[in-house]
Amino acid sequence: MTEEQKARRAAVARQNGAKSRGPVSDLGKYIASLNSIATGEHLEILKEELPECIALLSSDCWISYLRLYQKHLRQLQPASECEQTLVRHMCVELFQLERTISLETYARQCLLDASLRAYSEMPSEMRDLTSYEKGLEKEKLWRSLQRDKKSHQSAYASHYKMFKQIRRDFPLVPPEPISTDADQNGAAPALPTPEVVKEMLDHADRAKNEPNYQLPRWVANMLLDDEMMAEIAPSYDVTALLEKLTVTPVPLAA
């Protein structure tokens, strides 16, 4: 382009820019206010792959947690990412409270089942009393469970109080767009680490070479999971082992 063409294009751009009144809606104004940080360097910071807090165990059900999280989002409707973070912490605490209650119920059920097996002819009221007396021997366990439940209840209430205080003292108008993509990503089943994969393959190789080798149950479960094996060891031949597991089962260790 010649200098004259550049000058003409710049003049047209200035005229068009003078006609623009900018964004009109509240949401448009908010998005425009982020232009100063929407560079390539800072944009990566805004892309979450995982939620800010991950306090769930590998055995926890992410789907159940997400249902609880979505209920809180509908009820509380966070208006900013700060409020969303507090909602997430609240859900983690409530989810862990439910987990602790489930553990306590399971422990008491185990005691009751033991009484049912040992005293099948005993009246039900007496069996309940016997299992309760056996439970007194686990006083340390019950105290720990009660302490955990109170801790989660207190933390939930504390986060909720902070949520209300932020909403009252620092109202964000218009509401800030929030994203739950990071939390949804957590629902995908986590793949085992390379160390676990290596250990699993070592067990599998040994089972191939030693017909009487007791294959650990967790290894057998992984070998039978076609989708997981396609992800973690696509080139590993499991045909021979699968035949043993489905036709003449290999002895499985607990």
Name all contacts of 209-217 with Cβ < 8 Å and 24+ positions apart.
Answer: 212/251, 213/250, 213/251, 214/250, 214/251, 214/252, 214/253, 215/241, 215/245, 215/250, 215/251, 215/252, 215/253, 216/252, 216/253, 217/252, 217/253, 217/254
Per-residue pLDDT of the chain (254 residues; tens, 9 = 90+): 788 888 888 888 888 777 766 776 766 766 665 555 444 444 444 445 556 666 778 788 888 888 899 899 999 989 888 899 899 999 999 999 999 999 999 988 888 888 888 887 888 888 888 888 888 888 889 999 999 999 999 999 999 999 999 999 988 877 877 777 777 766 666 678 888 889 989 998 888 888 788 888 888 888 888 888 888 888 888 887 777 665 444 455 54
Q: Tokens standing for 111?
A: 């005691």
Write down the pTM of the prediction: 0.57
Q: How far is the C-alpha of 213 from the C-alpha of 150, rounded, in Å?
A: 47
